[in-house]
Structure 1
Amino acid sequence: MLPRRPLLALGAAALSAPLAARAQPSWPDRPVRFVVPFPGGSSPDLTGRIVAQHLGDVLGQPVVVENKAGAGGNIGTDAVAKATDGLTIGLSINGPLSTAPALYRNLPYDPARDLIPVSLLVRGGQVLAVDPRLPVQDFRSFVAHVKAHPGKLTFGSVGAGSGGHLAMEDIKARLGLDLEHVPYRGFPPAVLDLVAGRISAMVVTAAAILPQLREGQARALAVTTEERMAQLPDVPTLAEVGLTGAASYGWQVLVAPAGTPRERIERLAREAKVALGSERARQAMDAAAFEIVASSPEEASAYVAAEADRWGTLIRQLGLTLEG
């Protein structure tokens, strides 16, 4: 039999345990910082604000969006990775999470070590668009034209290592095409030069070129999605024109700093799904040519890792490096 004093001590500990648990402050007990690594009005900002507004409604504290743009999203993503206050979450995209580790020599964070993918929120396809003055009508005639004029045609992108640049490099490698890359600082100048005939082609986010396609100022030859896009139902996928396994997307992920408690991650994922299930979210994503995914944390982690492996391999094969 145990002595009386230890029994009393054990009983006191047992009684105090649930009281201590109840005394722990609920999360969050102060406003939450939601970092979006792009300017206001951008598509990540649109998605982020939809999620942030819903989180503010259900968490009982304001969720304040902070637009922290720069370096293709790396600066804002780094801010989330380095946060230690327990009150910072954010949104990031494929560049900072899947291509930056292979692309930048001095990246100040490690996505695999410093961040937890909470939910793959949305993803959107790209369009292979060409100058309508080119003597091509479809993807196959474009390929034939490029092969007949090696090194004479150009393609634009929003920068070395961007989604559009890598998608075109992937197409080039699969088909043995020779086109010269012309990088731009953003979609508007690149699309403007395509319309003006100063570049021959580009792989571009659908929302950035839909008006020009509808007005006949550019011609769509293929989309990079696995299925045809609702916004461009007459444009075939890359698989339909013979390039299986070449599908690619731009995507947005809700992220939290490493070490965030599991139950918090799971709740954030659940609430993100609710936020993106609203009619407002559906209409906004349709207009931006994005598909709502709202995945689990496990699915998000697997997706980011697979993308990092795929595009990191291509970046290394191309020998692309940037100063971070």
Structure 2
Amino acid sequence: MPTSVAVSPTPAAAAKPTLWSRLKGGDQIAYLISITFAALVLLLAVAIFWVLWNQSAMARHKFGIGFFTSQAWDHNNDVYGALPFIYGTLLTSVLALLISIPLGVGAAIFLAELAPPRLSNALTFLVELLAAVPSVIYGLLAIFTVVPLLRDYVEPALKGTLGFLPLFSGQIYGFSYLAAGLVLAIMTFPFIISVSRESLLDVPRDQREAALALGATHWESTWDVVVPFARLGIMGSIFLGLARALGETMAVTMVIGNSPRISASLFASGYTIAAAIANEFAEASSDIFRSSLIYLGLVLFLLTIVINGAARLLIVATTRKGSS
């Protein structure tokens, strides 16, 4: 006799969770909170741009695009141009990176790969302590140490040996582009070390052991395997240092000389956008003067966005190249 098998009816499709059930579970609440925070960041950036754009309307209408190419900064005739400040900002930032990148990355490699753990931890603590020092302290120390050292020893030596180059010619003042670049290098140094060290430590141990198993030395494993693996983090630390250098105010103001002119010599005094705003905004006696300073702030804001956008594109391009 055939055995009958009871077949249960097919259950209906599971109903989609309602909004209340998702809120009760916490998923929808977490999503709403996180998207709100993300939107606030975007709104904050838009608000900063809008305020700077609105408050600089007078200078934009009077000077137009010529504001970016003019070297004039005349309070008596209310004629202003941003070129000396853009030049000083870019020059000091580039100088800072040229000094701090090899030193910072080299120190990070030593702390992450070569130094004994106790020494690495102690030096890392000191590096992080340097990152917390206020910029005005760096400026004071630079006035009493870096500026006299450059004026009395370094700059005369550079002029005596490389004076035939425009970069190392001209009068020696001590307060100069070179002093500002050196101070910025000291200030960006801890950021590059800290972030690069963490990126190197995040490299899987298997990568090191595989290189050593193939016969590589410790240094070959570090330089040929670990550093390329952590290159994105190292590049991120460099651009973090660049962002710090672009916006630094007090320390640069105290050592750069604050002269709104363009010079090919690193020994000459100069000015940066942040230093000009900090020095002259409180003394802005006319509306066009105040608007021009706010216009400088808008230029610095856009300059920062452009440089960080270029950095992001470079990182993406490097990632794709490595993936391919």
* TM-score bucket of the superposed structures, by smaller chain: under 0.3
Task: Name whichever structure is richer in strand by fraction.
Answer: 1
Provide TM-score, normalisation by structure 2. 0.23
Task: Name whichever structure is richer in helix by fraction.
Answer: 2
Provide TM-score, normalisation by structure 1. 0.23
